[in-house]
Amino acid sequence: MFKLFRLLKPYRISVAAIITLMLLQSLAQLYLPTLLSDIVDVGVLKGDVAYILRFGAYMLLVAMGAMVCVIIASYLLARTATGFGRDLRRKLFSHVESFSLHEFDKLGTSSLITRTTNDIAQVQQVIVMMRMFIGAPTMLIGGVIMATYKDAHLAIVLISVIPILVLAIVGIMLKGLPLFKVLQVKIDGINLVLREHLTGIRVIRAFNRSGHEKQKFEKANLDYTQTAIKVNTIMATMMPVMMLVFNLGVVVILWYGGIRIDQNQMQIGDLMAFIQYAMQIMFSMFMMTMIFMMIPRASASGVRINEVLAITSTIHNTEKAISLPSNHAAIEFENVTFSYPGAEQPAIRNVSFRAEPGEVTAIIGGTGSGKTTLINLLLRFYDINTGSIHVDGHPLHTLQLESLRQHIGYVPQKAALFSGTVADNIRFGRETATDEEIKQAAATAQAADFIAELKDGYESQLAQGGTNLSGGQKQRLAIARALARKPDIYVFDDSFSALDFKTDAKLRAALKVETEQATKIIVAQRVSTIMDANRIIVLEDGCIAGIGTHEELMSTCDVYQEIVASQLSEEEIA
C-alpha cells in the first residue's frame, strides 16, 4: 500500500503543511492543561482575578489557534485525499485500458471494477486519517512527558495503566481483525448475487425464478449481517473496556493525587492538568487503535490495486512500430495457430487466407469453430502463437495498435452501445463525423427509418447498453458506427444475425455501394448472407475446411454442402 503513496508527490507541499499544522495543534492541546493548572494554582488559590483573566484569554487564544490549525489541515487533507483518489483511479483506469483481452480474462471485469472503486476508496481513507497518524503519537508521547513533568510519582500510576489498556485493545483486535477480512469476502458474496440478479433479470423472470433468487440474496445478506453484528459487537466492547480501565486509572490518580496534595507535594491545578493529560493519552490510544484497525484492511486493498498495476499488457506497441498508411489494405493470414491462454486445444490451427481490398471475404462455420477468434487476432486483441498476419504487407506486430484499429470498422457479434444519444453512438466511430455523414451512415445501415420514429430522432437518449432498442436495431446502430468511421477494412462479426432476411438483403446491397473499395470480412451463420462473397472460408474445429466461391465450395467442400443443406431444409420446413 505504501508504494501507492508515491502518488502523493504532487501534493508534498500540502502534506508538509498538514504535518506542521497537526503538530502545532497537538502542541497547543498539550499546552492547555498547563495553562489551566497555572490559573488554578496561582489565580484561583491567591484570588488574583487579573491573573485569571489574563491566562484565561491566553487559553482562549491557544485553543482558537489549535482550531484554526485543524480547520486548515482538514481542508488541505480533504483536497489531498480526493486528489490522490482521483489520480489513482486515473492511473488504474489508463493502465487497464492498455490491457489485452487476455488480462481482462485473467482478472475478471467485476474484480477490476471493485478494485478501481471500493479498493481505492479504502486506501484513500488512510490519507483522510492522516491527521490521526500525526496527532495520536504526538499526543501520546507529549502527554506522557507533560504528565511526568507535572508529577513523576503520579505518572507511574498513569504509565502502569497504559500496558493494561494496550493489552485490552490488542486482545479485542485479535478477535475482531480476522472478522474484518471475512466481512469483505461476504460483501463480495452479496455483490455476486446482486450482479447476477440484475444482469440476468429477464431470464430470472421468464423462468419464474424470482423466489429462488430472493432466497439466494437473503442467504448472502443474512450471512453478511451476522458477521457484521459479530464484528461490531466485538469492536463495540472496545470503548467501554477502555473507559473502564481509564476511569479506574482516574480513581487511582485522584486517590493518590489527593494524598500527595495532602502532603503538600502537589498542587490542585497540577492534579487537574494531570487528569487532562491522562484523557489526552487515552484519546490518542483510541485513535491509534482506529489506525491499526484500518491499516490491515487498506493494505489488503493496496495489494489488490498493486496487483493490477504490476501487470504489463502482453500486447503493446514495439519501439519501432509504424503507423499504417491510409490505404486499401489486403489482409493475409499465413499458417496462423492460436490457443487461448490456459486452453488445452488451439482455437485456430494453420489458418491461411488472403482478403483483398474491394472484395468480400466471408467466414462461415459451426459454433465454436473459431470465427470470432480470427477476428480477435486481426484486431490484435490477442497475439498469435505461430504463423503471421500481414496487413498491407506489414506484419501485425510492427504496426501501432491505434493506427491498426483506426483502419478497421469493427461490428462485434454482440452490439455494444453506450449511454448517450443515437448520434453520439454513431459518432463514436469517428468523432469528427458531420451530421450529414451520421445520417448517411444510418441510412446505409438501414437504421434511418427506426431512428426517425424515435421520439427525439438522432437526439434520442439510449439507456445503458442500449436496452431500450431491439436486438436488430442495436445491430444496425453498431453497423452505422463502423460506417461513420469510413475505414479501409470492415469486420462484421455475425452482425446480420438479428436482421430479418429483407433488411439483411437491403443492408448488404447498400453496403456494397458504400464500402466498394474497402476490404470486407463478414462472419455469418446464414448462407444467404454470404453467398455472393468473392471468397468464402469454411471453418471447422479451428481449421480451414475449404476456401472458394459459393459455387466452388458447393462442388468441393463437404462441410459447406452440409451447412447449405441444413439451412435450406430448415427454410423449407419454415
Contacting residues toward ligand ATP, per CB under 6 A: 105, 340, 343, 347, 365, 367-373, 413
Nearer residue to ligand ATP within complex by CB, 191 or 497: 497
Min dist CB 366 to ligand ATP, Å, is: 7
Comparing CB distances to ligand ATP, the nearer of 66 and 374 is 374
CA distances from 126 to 81, 84, 361, 384, 471 (A): 9, 11, 56, 43, 46
Nearer Cβ to ligand ATP (104/255):
104
State in Å, rounded, how far the first CA of the chain is from the last one: 63
Q: Which residue has the cell 503519537?
A: 137
Instruction: Name which of 116 and 369 has its Cβ closer to ligand ATP.
Output: 369
H helices of 445-547, in order, are 448-453, 471-484, 501-514, 527-530
How far apart, in whole angstroms, are the C-alpha atoms of residue 407 and residue 322? 13
What is the closest distance, in whole angstroms, from the C-beta atom of residue 539 to ligand ATP in the complex?
7
Cβ at position 2, least distance to ligand ATP in Å:
35
**Cβ nearer to ligand ATP, comparing 253 with 364:** 364
Nearest to 158 by CA among 268, 273, 31: 273
Q: Is residue 363 helix, strand or coil?
A: strand
Shortest distance, position 521 Cβ to ligand ATP, whole Å: 13
Write the secondary structure of 31-48 as one string of H (helix), E (strand) and C (coil).
Answer: HHHHHHHHHHHHHHHHCC
Least distance (Å) from ligand ATP to the CB of residue 103? Answer: 12
- CB of residue 105 vs ligand ATP: minimum separation in angstroms? 5
SS3 496: coil
At closest approach, how far in Å is the CB of 474 from ligand ATP?
A: 17
Q: What is the nearest approach in angstroms of ligand ATP to the Cβ of residue 522? A: 13
Is residue 355 a contact partner of residue 391, using CB atoms and an 8 Å limit?
no
> Could you tell me the smallest distance in angstroms from the CB atom of residue 141 to ligand ATP?
57
**Residue with smaller CB distance to ligand ATP, 370 or 429:** 370
What is the dihedral angle through the alpha carbons of 224, 227, 232, 235, rounded to the nearest 10 degrees? -140
Q: Which residues pair with 391 in a beta bridge?
A: 331, 394
Least gap, CB of 558 to ligand ATP (angstroms): 18
List of long-range contacts for 402-405, beta carbons under 8 Å, 24+ apart:
403/322, 403/323, 403/324, 404/324, 404/379, 404/380, 405/379, 405/380
Strand order in the sheet with 331-338: 348-355, 331-338, 386-391, 394-395
Spatial separation of the C-alpha atoms in residues 157 and 11, rounded to whole Å: 43
CB of 563 to ligand ATP, least distance (A): 12
3-state DSSP of 388-437: EEEECCEEHHHECHHHHHHCEEEECCCCCCCCEEHHHHHHCCCCCCCHHH
Task: Name the residue nearer to ligand ATP (CB basis): 369 or 425.
Answer: 369
Q: Rounded distance, CA 272 to CA 397, Å?
A: 77
Q: How far is the CB of 232 from ligand ATP (least distance, A)?
A: 42
Which residue, 335, 445, 347, is CA-closest to 390? Answer: 335
Q: d(Cα 377, Cα 489) in Å, to the nearest integer?
A: 14
CA 454/CA 141 separation, integer angstroms: 70
Long-range Cβ pairs for the range 184-193 (8 Å, 24+) = 184/297, 184/300, 186/220, 186/223, 186/224, 186/227, 186/228, 187/224, 188/114, 189/220, 189/223, 189/224, 190/217, 190/220, 190/221, 190/224, 191/110, 191/114, 192/110, 192/220, 193/217, 193/220
Report the residue number, 122 or 369, with the smaller CB distance to ligand ATP: 369
- Residue 84 or 338: which CB sits closer to ligand ATP? 338
Measured CA to CA, the distance from residue 203 to residue 210 in angstroms comes to: 10
- Name the residue nearer to ligand ATP (CB basis): 372 or 403: 372
Cell of residue 230, nine digits: 459479530
Query: Which residue number, 346 or 429, has a Cβ lying nearer to ligand ATP?
Result: 346
Complex with ligand ATP: residue 151 or 494, whichever CB lies closer:
494
Q: How far is the CB of 493 from ligand ATP (least distance, A)?
A: 7
**Cβ closer to ligand ATP: 70 or 347?**
347
